[in-house]
Structure 1
Amino acid sequence: MSAQAIQDSYPPAFAHCYGCGANNQHGHHLKSYLVGNETVARFTPDLKYSGGVPDHVYGGMIASLLDCHGTASAAAYAYQKEGRQIGDGREPVRFVTASLKVDFKRPTPLGVELVVRGMLRSLDGRKAWIDLVLTAGELTCATGEMLAIRLPEPVDA
């Protein structure tokens, strides 16, 4: 497992995301890690994130977790492809969501730890395609497909 969460490599100007930004005091602070050939994040939603089915998570929360984990996964795979370490002191790798498709497989229970996994489908230039799975225990609650686009590195003046 990578020692540092992928999101911890984001510079302060990019650490304000509600889902994963360290600098957002009201956010979820999702942390994603590269573990072998997949990425993993763990999150236990608070009871206030109840959905239409009693005692279950609302769909927007699930999409948010997949979104933040997907872009972090894209960054991790880009680091890996370039032979770099996350947080290596060089310009950080950042991706944004171009497309996110979510398939809700079953209601996601509240009060349990959710695990989000990301797997690289392909990385071509600035485009990364990530397959995502969200589970609660042994139950697959949602799957997703993301197209993430790498932000260009800033040009020195």
Structure 2
Amino acid sequence: MDAAFQDFYAEKFSHCHGCGKNNPAGHHLKSRWDGDDTIARFLPKPEYSGGVPDHVYGGLIASLLDCHGAASAAAFAHRAQNREMGSEGEPIRYVTASLKVDFRRPTPMGIELVIKGKLRSMDERKVWVDLTLSANGEVCASGEMLAVRYRQ
């Protein structure tokens, strides 16, 4: 599937600043499959510099991990049911219950950031996702997300 997970969100869920396709001021993060894991790429704009010049501020990093993690949780749940996102039936949607972020090194501006998600575990209504954000092949931040199923 070439379409991003976020492309399958219902219109009422497409306004998120991080990944909503209907938010003209948003980041429009796009998450996709990368084998059994997930991946998204993002080039931060200069206005997202942090307290250290020429580096990304932590709030943006957390936002990218949050949006990618929730989208990944939904994708992992669809795959566990042998379904593609956007297929027949009720969409499976997840929201963040907990997000832990470790900032490992300063994240440089002007470089494409790569966000990856890996399924740690899943039960009937919860998905745990391990996350990384890298620049130039170096992990700048890592995270752990607990996402819970949202009943529409």
Taking structure 2 as the reference length, the TM-score comes to: 0.98
Q: Following the alignment from structure 1 to structure 2, what is the Cα–Cα distance between the partners of residues 111 and 6?
A: 25
Percent sequence identity is: 61
Aligned to 2:69: 70
Q: In structure 1, what residue type is equivalent to 2:64?
A: L
* TM-aligned CA deviation for residue 37 of structure 1: 0.8
* TM-aligned CA deviation for residue 91 of structure 1: 2.1
- Residues 47 and 110 of structure 1 are in contact (CA less than 8 Å); yes or no, is this contact kept in structure 2? yes
Aligned to 2:8: 9
Q: How does 1:18-97 map to 2 (within 5 A)?
A: 18-97=17-96
SS at match of 1:150: strand
Q: In structure 2, what residue type is equivalent to 1:12?
A: E
* Moved beyond 2 Å, runs of 4+: none
Aligned to 1:147: 146
- Residues 4 and 87 of structure 1 are in contact (CA less than 8 Å); yes or no, is this contact kept in structure 2? no
Q: Following the alignment from structure 2 to structure 1, what is the Cα–Cα distance between the partners of residues 109 and 138?
A: 13
Q: Following the alignment from structure 1 to structure 2, what is the Cα–Cα distance between the partners of residues 23 and 131?
A: 27
Q: Following the alignment from structure 1 to structure 2, what is the Cα–Cα distance between the partners of residues 151 and 50?
A: 33
- Residues 4 and 86 of structure 1 are in contact (CA less than 8 Å); yes or no, is this contact kept in structure 2? no
Aligned to 2:109: 110
* TM-aligned CA deviation for residue 92 of structure 1: 1.6
Q: Following the alignment from structure 1 to structure 2, what is the Cα–Cα distance between the partners of residues 75 and 3?
A: 16
Point out where structure 1 has 5 or more consecutive residues left out of the alignment.
none
Taking structure 1 as the reference length, the TM-score comes to: 0.94
SS at match of 1:16: coil
SS at match of 2:110: coil
Q: Following the alignment from structure 1 to structure 2, what is the Cα–Cα distance between the partners of residues 15 and 82?
A: 23
Number of residue-to-residue matches in the alignment: 152
1:6-64 superposed Cα distances (whole Å, 9 cap, x missing partner): 00110001101000000111100000001211000000000000001110000000000
Point out where structure 2 has 5 or more consecutive residues left out of the alignment.
none
Q: In structure 2, what residue type is equivalent to 1:95?
A: Y
